[in-house]
């Protein structure tokens, strides 16, 4: 098995969490003698070949190529997120290698002409804002500002949200796209404030969410409703950088472990995972550790049920169990393009709870 991780750069915290989840799955399986491979009629120990892409898409492209052409891995797993996955998609397709895509949710990755991709642990980002749009419309929120990073992950969410709002006869009072590398939001904050919004939606990666929320607090800019993505995925990281007061009452998409799925028929339930993972990897569970672990489960089920180790044979096996598997991450179900459609992200509000934060669910 081959994958990439980032030990430095803007995606490091998220990438390492996801990689640790995948490693935990492999260690758990190997303690039981390995994963059963139907095509070989025996159990095989998992060996992970991993390279450090340092959060660089250019470096990642070279290393994905190396995993396929030189290391000749049987199973290819992408690094965290759409930016570092975007280069893997065409490379895997070119080499006819099935890509197990953990969290690269950009809508443009999934096409009818490419059978060599399976999204394991999140729905495509184009459908994420459906619940957010429903919530804003239901709350009769008319004056909405939308700020987004100009990458596949965030721009696809922006497009969906704006289209859903326009269908409800709501035109955002402010829209703006910024580079993913943006760290200074002071001027942007005041530009948004000038539009007098009732709600501000910021679509970014963790570093963007942190910088944006820190900027609001530092500049004393207040909006009635503020939405960001990653407090729902990496709450501890966000809390460490923004503080409880800075996050209180903000909106987000809650994901496991904030969101618990009780009907698990494959792999560990959340209660067991939350006990066992920290003992092995020595840091708390967040969504991305669950995402990495869940990717391992999808790979495991593929190997257990595929009668062949050809790349398309494994994809056919995934199609066969799609819709029948429920894990710690919810229902696994893909459509014909390999996009995950079994999960719908709710909208929640972070509220103060003791010295920390809890989630109040607002819209499913």
Strand order in the sheet with 49-52: 49-52, 2-5, 76-77, 99-101, 117-119
Report the C-alpha dihedral over residues 17, 21, 24, 25, rounded to 10 degrees.
-170
What pTM, to 2 d.p., does this model score?
0.95
Of the candidates 250, 298, 310, the one whose C-alpha atom is nearest the C-alpha of residue 119 is 298
pLDDT in tens, 256-295: 999 999 899 999 999 999 999 999 999 999 999 999 999 9
Angle between helices 206-219 and 186-194 (to 10 degrees): 70
State yes or no: pLDDT of 1 exceeds 90. yes
Residues 6+ apart with CB under 8 A from 216: 185, 189, 222, 223, 226, 246
Positive or negative, the CA dihedral 238, 254, 345, 265 is positive
Report all structural domains of the chain as residue ranges with CATH numbers, in order of start. Answer: 2-123+259-332 (3.40.50.2300), 126-258+345-363 (3.40.50.2300)
pLDDT tens figures, 16-65: 999 999 999 999 999 999 999 999 999 999 999 999 999 999 999 999 99
H/E stretch holding 251 reads: strand 251-252
- For 204, 292, 337, the CA distances from 318, given in Å and listed in that order, are 31, 17, 12
């Amino acid at each position: 098995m081959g994958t990439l991780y980032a030990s430095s750069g803007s995606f490091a915290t998220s990438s390492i969490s996801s990689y640790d989840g995948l490693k935990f799955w492999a260690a758990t399986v190997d303690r039981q003698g390995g994963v059963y491979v139907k095509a070989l009629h025996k159990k095989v120990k998992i060996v992970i070949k991993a390279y450090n892409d340092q959060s660089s898409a250019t470096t990642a492209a070279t290393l994905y190529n190396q995993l396929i052409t030189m290391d000749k891995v049987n199973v290819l797993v992408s690094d965290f997120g759409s930016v570092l996955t975007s280069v893997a998609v065409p490379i895997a397709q070119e080499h006819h290698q099935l890509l197990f895509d953990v969290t690269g949710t950009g809508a443009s990755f999934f096409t009818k002409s490419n059978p060599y991709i399976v999204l394991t642990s999140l729905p495509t980002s184009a459908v994420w804002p459906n619940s957010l749009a429903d919530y804003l419309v239901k709350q009769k929120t008319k004056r909405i500002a939308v700020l987004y990073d100009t990458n596949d992950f965030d721009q696809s969410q922006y497009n969906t949200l704006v289209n859903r709002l326009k269908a409800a006869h709501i035109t955002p009072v402010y829209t703006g796209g910024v580079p993913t590398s943006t760290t200074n939001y002071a001027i942007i904050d005041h530009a948004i404030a000038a539009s007098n919004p009732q709600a501000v939606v910021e679509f970014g990666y963790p570093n963007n969410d942190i910088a944006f929320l820190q900027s609001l607090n530092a500049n004393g800019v207040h909006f009635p409703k503020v939405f960001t993505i990653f407090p729902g995925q990496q709450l501890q990281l966000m809390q460490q950088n923004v503080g409880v007061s800075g996050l209180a009452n903000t909106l987000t998409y809650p994901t496991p472990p904030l969101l618990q799925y009780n009907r698990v028929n494959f792999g560990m339930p959340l209660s067991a995972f939350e006990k066992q993972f920290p003992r092995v990897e020595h840091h708390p569970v967040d969504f991305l550790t669950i995402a990495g672990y869940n990717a391992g489960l999808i790979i495991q089920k593929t190997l257990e049920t595929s009668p062949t180790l050809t790349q398309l044979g494994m994809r056919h096996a995934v199609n066969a169990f799609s819709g029948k598997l429920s894990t710690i991450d919810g229902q696994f179900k893909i459509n014909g393009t390999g996009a995950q459609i079994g999960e719908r992200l709710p909208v929640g509000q972070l509220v103060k709870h003791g010295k920390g934060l809890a989630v109040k669910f607002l819209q499913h």
